[in-house]
Amino acid sequence: MASSSKVPSGRLARFSSLAGLAGKLAGGMLAEGARRMANGEKSNRLDLLLTPSNIKRVTDKLAHMRGAAMKLGQLLSMDAGDLIPAELAELLARLRDNANPMLPKQLATVLRTELGNDWQRHFADFEFKPMAAASIGQVHRAQHDKGQRLAVKVQYPGVKQSIESDVDNVASLLKISGLLPAGMDYGALLDEAKIQLQREADYLQEADYMTRFYHHLQHDPRYVVPQPNTELSTANILVMDFVEGVPVESLQAEPQALRDQVMVLLFELFFKELFEFRLVQTDPNFANYRYNLSTKQLVLLDFGACRDYSEAFSDAYRLLFGSALNNQEAGVEQAMRDIGFFSQDIAASQRERILQLVQLACEPLQHSEPFDFGHSDLANRIREAGTALSLQHNYWHTPPADAIFLHRKIGGLYLLAARLKARVNVRALLQAYLD
Helix 67-77 vs helix 11-38: crossing angle, to nearest 10: 50
Indicate left, alpha or beta for 132 from its phi (over 0: left) and psi (-120 to 50: alpha): beta
Q: Of 79, 166, 260, 283, which is the active-site residue? A: 283
Distance CA 135, CA 98 (A): 8
Name 247's Cβ contacts closer than 8 Å, sequence gap at least 6: 286, 287, 289, 290
Active site residue 283: yes
Number of H helices, E strands in the chain: 16, 13
Segment (H or E) for 114:
helix 104-115
Distance CA 406, CA 284 (A): 9
CB 258 within 8 A of CB 242: no
CA angle 132, 64, 83 (to 5 degrees): 90
DSSP-assigned letters across all residues of 54-98: HHHHHHHHHHHH-HHHHHHHHHHHTTBTTTB-HHHHHHHHGGGSP
CB 73 within 8 A of CB 65: no
CB 82 within 8 A of CB 407: yes
- Catalytic residue positions? 283
